[in-house]
Amino acid sequence: MKKKIFKLIIISLLVCFCIFPMSGAASASAVYLGGIPAGFSLNTRGVTVVGITDVNTENGKFSPAKDAGLTLGDVVLSIDNKDVNSSEDIAKAVNGKSEAKIVYMRNGERHESVIKPKKDGLGKYKLGLFIRNYVSGIGTLTYIKDNKFTSLGHPILDERGDLIEITGGSLINCTITGAIKGERGKAGELKGIFLKNAAFAKATYNTKTGVVGTISDGEIERLNLKEVETGEARVGNAVIYSTVTGSRPKEYCISIVKIDKNERDNKNLVLKITDDELIDLTGGIVQGMSGSPILQDGKLVGAVTHVFINDPERGFGISIDNIIDK
C-alpha cells in the first residue's frame, strides 16, 4: 500500500498496528498482540524501472534502455555481473563502457540483454533510466513472538502484481492523522506521518503473508503490548484492533461471515464491519488497516488483509494458522 500501495478489484491494504498494557516475556504458547500503526521504509533488491528517457549526447539523442528492450516495471538486478541497488551502483557499473550485460526480472522471469551506455554532455555515461530502489507506506503490526514481528497479512507487490523482494528496511513510529472514507467503487485510505528518527524494528523479508522482521526486547517493553493466546476462527462476532486516529489502537466490532479452510493464502476469512463508529470514521475497511489483528474470545485468530472495492464494509482476512504456517 509508494504511500498508496497495491490496488486490485479487491484492495490489499498496506497501512496500521496495536498496543496494550502488559510487559514481561511472552510464554511459549502466547504472542504479543499488535495493532499499532507503523511506517514501512523498505529497500528493494535491484532497482525498478519507473521511467525511460533519452540521453543527450554530442551526436544526438539516444535511448540505451529502450534499445536494450527494457520497459516500465522491469527490475534490474546486475550490470556486468555487479549487483545494482541504487543509481550510484548503475553509474559505477557503466562508467567508461560502450556496452554491458544487463540482467533484469520481468513478470517473475529472469532476462538478459546488452545495453550500450551513452556519454552525456557532462561526460557521464547514462542508460536513460529513472529508477526506484525502495517502497514506503503505512501498515499494521499483527503480532510479535520470540522477538520476531509479523505485519500486513499480505505481500507488498509491484505494479505488475509481482512480490517485491527486499534487502532490509525499517518500521518507523507513526501517527495516523486522518482518513479518506471508503466508498462503493473507491477504496478509502488512512493518512499518517512518520516520526523522524523513530525506527523501532528491522524488516527482513516480504513474504506471501506479509512483511516480517525482528524487534528488540527494549522496544517490546516500550510498546507495552498485551500478551494473548492464538486460536481458531469461527463464524460469528469478533473484534479487530486498529488505529484509525492517533497512535493508539481501539477495538471495533466485526463479524466473520465465512471461513474457507481450503484457501491457504491471505483471503480465507470473509469479514463484515458492524461497528457504527468505525463506519462513520472510515466507511469500513480502508487501506492502512492491513494487518489489524482479529480476536475472538480474547484469542488472536487472524488479521485484516483486503477490502471489497464495491463494498467497503466487507473484506478479507487471513487466519492466524495461515500466517504461522508460512
C-beta of residue 272 within 8 angstroms of C-beta of residue 254 = yes
Do 81 and 18 belong together in one domain?
Answer: no
- Asked if the structure places residue 73 within a domain, the reply is yes
How far is C-alpha 87 from the chain's CA centre? 23
Residue 265 appears among annotated catalytic residues = no
What pairs with residue 12 in β-bridges?
Answer: 306
- Asked if the structure places residue 1 within a domain, the reply is no
Catalytically annotated residue among 170, 275, 292, 319: 275
Domain membership of residue 280 as a residue range: 10-44+134-325
- Asked if the structure places residue 166 within a domain, the reply is yes
| Nearest alpha-carbon partner for 18 in 282, 322, 295, 204 | 295
> What pLDDT sits at residue 27?
41
Residue 306 appears among annotated catalytic residues = no
What are the residue ranges in the chain where pLDDT is below 50? Answer: 1-11, 15-28
Catalytically annotated residue among 78, 89, 151, 154: 154
User: By CB neighbour count within 10 A (0-12 exposed, 13-18 middle, 19+ buried), where does 59 fall?
Assistant: exposed
CATH number of domain containing 82: 2.30.42.10
- Asked if the structure places residue 49 within a domain, the reply is no
- Asked if the structure places residue 83 within a domain, the reply is yes
Specify the pTM.
0.82
- Asked if the structure places residue 5 within a domain, the reply is no
> DSSP state, 67?
H
Q: How many domains, the chain? A: 2
SS3 325: helix
Do 146 and 187 belong together in one domain?
Answer: yes
| Nearest alpha-carbon partner for 164 in 194, 199, 203, 216 | 203
CA angle 61/64/70 to nearest 5° reads 135
Catalytically annotated residue among 151, 290, 292, 319: 290
What pairs with residue 236 in β-bridges?
Answer: 256
> What pLDDT sits at residue 29?
65
Domain final residue, candidates 127, 151, 166: 127
Give the C-alpha separation, 66 to 105, whole Å: 15
Residue 158 appears among annotated catalytic residues = no
C-beta of residue 87 within 8 angstroms of C-beta of residue 126 = no
- Asked if the structure places residue 122 within a domain, the reply is yes
